[in-house]
Structure 1
């Protein structure tokens, strides 16, 4: 029966193998939030889309309004934390 320390070392080695970036950040004491919660690009695209929408309304340009709506809608999709995951699975590798 492995001891508690041995089991922790095995888990640490498995983590370093599975996700080296996260393991490195944890050893440094400043882990990054999971990708599902990083939304910098989503906010940037939403801002660009709303700016294009506002400019289109101000200039009475239908094409610019449509482009602003499309970009804003695509940016809103980036806020979904479940995007990119297979349907019906919350945990990768779960069956």
Structure 2
């Protein structure tokens, strides 16, 4: 027996609540909030930390700090722009 439209909506709301509770609360209250996919605050903090570690490694001439800073910057840069296949994106990505 096919489900009714109301049951589909209830299932969708429950899944949204599980995946991103902050966004679901914002929808209920009528105040807009960015979905989890568009929140990049942690990535920017990681990028800043990586640049700081890289700069201190260069200033102190410590290869381990330089390598760690480069790794952190690379990881954070990937998190800032995780979807290289979107239209208008410069660069090559998987096809």
The two structures have a TM-score, normalised by structure 2, of: 0.65
Report whether the alignment pairs 1:54 with 2:58: no
Task: Point out 4+ residue stretches in structure 1 off by more than 2 angstroms.
Answer: 9-18, 20-24, 80-83
- Consecutive unaligned residues of structure 1, counting only runs of 5 or more, are 1-6, 89-95
1:31 and 1:11, CA in 2 relative to 1: closer, same or farther beyond 3 A?
farther
Q: CA RMSD in A?
A: 2.7
Report whether the alignment pairs 1:16 with 2:16: no
Matched length: 79
In terms of Rg, which structure is larger?
1
CA contact (8 A) 1:48 1:71 kept: yes
1:71 is displaced (CA, Å) by 0.6
Please give the secondary structure, in 2, of the residue aligned with 1:26.
Answer: helix
